[in-house]
């Protein structure tokens, strides 16, 4: 989608600090990190949220989680722990309506609610 920020990052039209890439996923540093490690993983195919991605391309959803594990390992947060997070919808804080998975770590993370 030409007006989707993450589609434009995947197409390399907008720069990002890429930390991991597979045939189906792209991982890059968040521009407003909420933790010392904050990486955003996106599928290269557009879907508005995780549920839509699961319906349209369930194997790509699997790929996102596998890539998240590789990112966590590369970022050195596997042993201390990390959080995987999807925001779905405006009330949950989703601001880019392209499915994306956050990897957060590098410090103790508090409860979500």
Q: Are 69 and 88 in contact (CB under 8 A)?
A: no
Measure Cα distances from 84 to 4, 65, 91, 99, 112 in Å.
22, 9, 18, 13, 12
Q: Which of 20, 38, 98, 100 is catalytic?
A: 100
SS3 state at 67: helix
Count, in order, helices (H) and strands (E) of the chain: 3, 5
| Residue 100 is a catalytic residue | yes
Residues labelled as active-site residues: 100
């Amino acid at each position: 989608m030409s007006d989707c920020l993450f589609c434009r990052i995947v197409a390399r039209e907008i720069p990002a600090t890429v930390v991991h890439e597979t045939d189906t996923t792209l991982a890059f540093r968040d521009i407003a990190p909420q933790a010392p490690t904050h990486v955003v993983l996106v599928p290269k195919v557009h879907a508005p949220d995780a549920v839509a991605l699961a319906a349209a391309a369930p194997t790509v959803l699997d790929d996102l989680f596998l890539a998240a594990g590789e990112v966590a390992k590369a970022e050195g947060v596997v042993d201390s722990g990390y959080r995987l997070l999807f925001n779905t919808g405006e009330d949950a804080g989703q601001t880019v309506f392209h499915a994306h998975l956050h990897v957060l770590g590098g410090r103790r993370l508090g409860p979500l609610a």
